[in-house]
Amino acid sequence: MNSIFLNTLNGKSSERPPVWFMRQAGRVLPSYLKLREQYSFRQMMDNPELAADVTLLPVNDLGVDAAILFSDILVIPNAMGMGLKFTDKGPVFEKPLKEYDQPSKKLNPDPSKLNYIYDAIDAIIRKRPDNIPLIGFCGGPLTVLVYMLQGISTNHSFPDAIKFLYQNKEETLKITDAITELSIEYLKKQAEHKIDVFQLFETHAGLIPSDMYNELFLPSVKKISATAKSLNLPFIFFPKGFGTGVSKITPEHCDFIGIDWQTNIYDIKKLLNHEIGIQGNLDPRLLFANKSVIEQKLNEYIDFGSKNRNWIF
């Protein structure tokens, strides 16, 4: 495949930095909102043809250089017997794990519950342009765990889940191992259905101290990364809010790292292992600013890109 996205991930030079947005298939697109008037989120995710069409909307509407599978990080808890329901108010679990005395014993992983996603991948591969790679993904171990422990909450600091981590280390590790095992199986199946890249979304990495994350969850990241590498898939790790914790990330953990807008990209570059590429880190809220401010910031990224070839905007 002749793709500047894949070329950059594989260390090859390209005529420009590739462009891709982490939430590109969603509410930012009028075409997506129009579909949402007809279908629920779950209906779009469950229907392979619809999921494929939604996945490719940003490619057609925005001209981005990669497509990402239209799915949700909570499909893993659902496949572990958590009884997930997608409602108009968002996903809801029947009963969060924190309500059980030994929550690890309540897990019942069933990989077959993920089969419909592979049908969607097949449809995307069939419909996509020849130069557009497909990114598969799953949620990071901490992010998936805090949702499983506390459920979907308006309190995004997840106080009950974090309390559990501090009070129940053994159970935390057991549940994390189960999440990791199913995530690896999920990755393998996505690879079997011909994804081109895999990304791990650790959306809530910043909830706990980086040293604690490194002890409890980074070993899982390393296992998932090793699986991706064994399948010849470029691996992107996005630990949102990790800050200076990126200094402990090595090429064993990822090929590229996604960084959020809370940290200066030049500061991250100094902290990061030189073999690891960077994705990010424009603040999407910048688009509320006037045009001259936006242009000034984009020129700063152009300058960064001219000095760093292993960078995805």
pLDDT digits (tens, 9 = 90+) for 115-154: 999 999 999 999 999 999 999 999 999 999 999 999 876 6
Structure tokens of 63?
């001209």
Provide the pairing of β-strand 311-312 with 277-279: parallel
**Strand, coil or helix: 92:** strand
pLDDT digits (tens, 9 = 90+) for 27-72: 889 999 999 999 988 899 999 999 999 999 999 999 999 999 999 9
pLDDT digits (tens, 9 = 90+) for 220-271: 999 999 999 999 999 999 999 999 999 999 999 999 999 999 999 999 999 9
Q: Is the pLDDT of residue 180 over 80?
A: yes
Residue whose structure tokens are 């497909």: 134
Residue 153 pLDDT = 67
H or E stretch covering 63: none
Sheet holding 197-202, edge to edge: 67-68, 134-139, 197-202, 235-239, 256-258, 277-279, 311-312
The structural domains of the chain, ordered by start, are: 4-312 (3.20.20.210)
pLDDT digits (tens, 9 = 90+) for 71-108: 999 999 999 999 888 776 677 888 899 999 999 999 99
Q: How far apart are CA 218 and CA 227, in angstroms?
A: 14
